[in-house]
Structure 1
Amino acid sequence: MIAGTHAVPGGAKPDRLISFDTRDVAVDDRIDYWEERCAERVVGLHCTSMSESGLEARFEYCDFGSIKMIDITGNQHVIERSPLLLRRFEKDSVFMTFLRKGSAFVNRAQSCTVVGEGDVVIYDTNKPYMHGFPAQMRHVIYEIPGAHFRERFPRWELNEAVRFDALLNTTRIVSRALREVVETDLRLLETPAQRQLHEERLWTVLETAHALSNGKARSAYHTAVRERVRQYIEANLHDPELCPSGISREMGMSLRQLNRLFEGDANTLTSMIQTRRLQRCHADLARPSHYPKSISETAFNWGFRNLSHFSRRFRAEFGVSPSAFAEMARR
């Protein structure tokens, strides 16, 4: 029996918000209970605890759509995802974690990463790892589907756990941005549109983390300006006039300076704008009950001027025409 299932306003599925707590079961059953519930909701893992009171851990789960959030509070414990568990419980996801309280370590690829309060760590679930907490802790995990992650970051190989230190000038921008997302009151995310916006905020944090870890951001200032540009693009995708020259004027810099900010990225700014528009159209067409607009209205709403051009680009991006995709979503 799962404890603490919440009713969710706005027509969301009843299991969008779920929680369970090991203190609801006998001490001797807590480890088995935790492993079973985690295997159901997150990943198959093995858990141990040296606490005399047994494992005392609470798990809160929220489904935003494609990205899931897991908020875990507990006492001392260690979890392990071994090669055997990788085969038994297959999972193709990337975890972006934020340590809200305590300290931790991540043992991965023959290296151990020590994590402090406020740090962000990104790793995938396809390779063995061990994650430990020596004392009272609280951390938040955002689970990103592996296919979606690779689509956005095709050359970002997570061979080791990637840590972003909350205290370093060059990396704390990631910690600050993710903290703002983590501290959002989930009760305010009542509608699909609000939850989609929440997901986009997470993708923006990942974009910043990607820029830092791949050397595309040369300083904290450079990272902050890139972030401002991305936020401006997201806020103005509806505008068909959105283009690099207009963005440079809005940012108070030359077009050359703007392009240098994103030098080395896989896509140009123009391609980035088009890709984000296509992704927004795809998301709207995938939920016709919430966005009951025609294909042309959807395309024009997200800044496309030419329906034929939109259809060609949509098919090239997603392998199916907008009309065929919308028909599949209505079934």
Structure 2
Amino acid sequence: MASGTLKVSTLGGAGIFEANTFEEWQERMSNRFVRLQVSTSRPDNFHALLHGRSFDDISLSRTEPHAHQVDRLQDFICQGEARYYKLSMLLGGAGLVVQDGREAVLGPGDMVIYVTARPYSAVFVDAADSLVMVFPQVALSVSAESVARLTATALSSTSGMGRLVGPFLRELAATLDSISGHGGIMLAHNTLVLVNTMAYTELGAQGADPRTGALAEVKEYIDRNLASSTLGPSTIAAAHYMSTPRLHYLFEGAGTTVPSWIKARRLDRSRRDLMDPALGHATITQIATRWGFPDSAHFSRAFKAPFGATPSEYRRPR
């Protein structure tokens, strides 16, 4: 089979990848997401389009390929690698996602969540148009154990929270190429808030694990008190009438720790303030101090690690 050249262009700040051979698509799928085995029963005259955007640690992609299958094999999963969730919404055509012994048969408007840390398979027919969102596992308020009850379960856009989230995701896919800069970052994070809410309410409808509700309440409390200099495991546990070991247990189930979560949320609030035109008069030091970073040098190092730029670099218009 002949191989061609992957075409890359940018329209409206968005990367568009066109594959004219199946080999090109195989390479792109693993490079864009995680390591995957990609196969098709119709390799001849294969064609696919991928519209991709990345904002911080959130990836948004719209894929329009010919019929193919992707498999996340156990041998491809490395111990200690970052763990991500994938949310896929089928915009057109038909598909199937298999994980954790469940199968989600997808039609237009259906959504599904699956995790990269465990094997899965996804099968798509011709004209299967999908929006795929990839985000860190720790970004959800609900525990990994609870989300495991949702993997490979079709979530309809005609009922429950799906009636709100589904149309939003469809419009997001339609305008993906035009999203960029700070506005794109804010939109990606707001999309994640909606996905988080949908997962939480769906689990509640199923009779969620009590730890899911407890963890969500604790995370809401942390968000409300991020500016407090006394915020820490002992004060959080006391406010929720639980022991400190119990608090740590909740966060271990979500794949993170209490201090790491607090730091990540404070950095995210700082990032939002740096993007906010209404706060253009505030100095970086003032913003850092507001969110619990009294040492400017430490704040700069801590900020650059997840966002790839210093606060001053990040604040410049993109």
Fold shared by both chains (TM-score > 0.5): yes
Q: Find the partner of 1:191 among 177, 181, 184.
A: 181
Residues 324, 19 of structure 1: alpha-carbon distance in 2 compared, 3 angstrom cutoff? same
Q: Is the 8 A contact 1:99 1:140 kept in 2?
A: yes
Superposition deviation, residue 74 in structure 1: 1.6
Aligned AA for 1:138? D
Superposition deviation, residue 103 in structure 1: 1.0
Give per-residue Cα distances to partners, 1:136-165, cap 9 Å, x unaligned.
211011111234x25x44455432324311
Q: Work out the number of aligned pairs and report it.
A: 254
Residues 198, 87 of structure 1: alpha-carbon distance in 2 compared, 3 angstrom cutoff? same
Structure 2 equivalent of residue 226 of structure 1: none
Structure 1 equivalent of residue 16 of structure 2: 19
TM-score (norm 1): 0.64
Report 1:23-62 matches (<5 A).
23=20, 30-51=21-42, 53-62=44-53
Report 1:75-94 matches (<5 A).
75-87=66-78, 92-94=83-85
Residues 38, 263 of structure 1: alpha-carbon distance in 2 compared, 3 angstrom cutoff? closer
Structure 2 equivalent of residue 201 of structure 1: 190
Aligned AA for 1:116? G
Report 1:113-262 matches (<5 A).
113-147=104-138, 149=139, 152-155=141-144, 157-159=146-148, 160-169=151-160, 171-187=162-178, 189-192=179-182, 194-215=183-204
Residues 76, 8 of structure 1: alpha-carbon distance in 2 compared, 3 angstrom cutoff? closer
Structure 1 equivalent of residue 235 of structure 2: none
TM-score (norm 2): 0.66
Q: Is the 8 A contact 1:178 1:205 kept in 2?
A: no
Report 1:67-106 matches (<5 A).
67-87=58-78, 92-106=83-97
Q: Is the 8 A contact 1:44 1:89 kept in 2?
A: no
Q: Give distance in 1, aligned partners of 2:282 and 2:74.
A: 47
Superposition deviation, residue 285 in structure 1: 5.8
Q: Give distance in 1, aligned partners of 2:281 and 2:28.
A: 37
Report the 3-state secondary structure (helix = DSSP H, G, I; strand = E; otherwise coil) of the residue aligned with 2:186.
Answer: helix
Q: Find the partner of 1:325 among 278, 295, 299.
A: 299
Give the gaps of 5 or more residues in structure 1: 10-16, 24-29, 219-261, 300-306
Q: Give distance in 1, aligned partners of 2:87 and 2:280.
A: 29
Report 1:238-317 matches (<5 A).
265-267=216-218, 271-275=222-226, 279-284=268-273, 293-298=282-287, 307=289, 310=290, 314=292
Residues 190, 114 of structure 1: alpha-carbon distance in 2 compared, 3 angstrom cutoff? closer
Q: Give distance in 2, aligned partners of 1:43 and 1:31.
A: 18
Superposition deviation, residue 169 in structure 1: 4.7
Give per-residue Cα distances to partners, 1:58-80, cap 9 Å, x unaligned.
12211222211111102221111
Structure 2 equivalent of residue 4 of structure 1: 8
Q: Is the 8 A contact 1:156 1:210 kept in 2?
A: no
Superposition deviation, residue 91 in structure 1: 5.5
Q: Which has the higher contact order (CA 8 A, sep 6+)?
A: 2
Report the 3-state secondary structure (helix = DSSP H, G, I; strand = E; otherwise coil) of the residue aligned with 1:208.
Answer: helix
Q: Is the 8 A contact 1:43 1:89 kept in 2?
A: no
Aligned AA for 1:48? S
Aligned AA for 1:135? D
CA RMSD in angstroms, aligned pairs only: 3.6
Report the 3-state secondary structure (helix = DSSP H, G, I; strand = E; otherwise coil) of the residue aligned with 1:43.
Answer: coil
Structure 2 equivalent of residue 303 of structure 1: none
Q: Is the 8 A contact 2:69 2:122 kept in 1?
A: yes
Q: Give distance in 1, aligned partners of 2:88 and 2:298.
A: 37
Aligned AA for 1:19? I
Give the gaps of 5 or more residues in structure 2: 208-212, 227-264, 305-309, 314-318
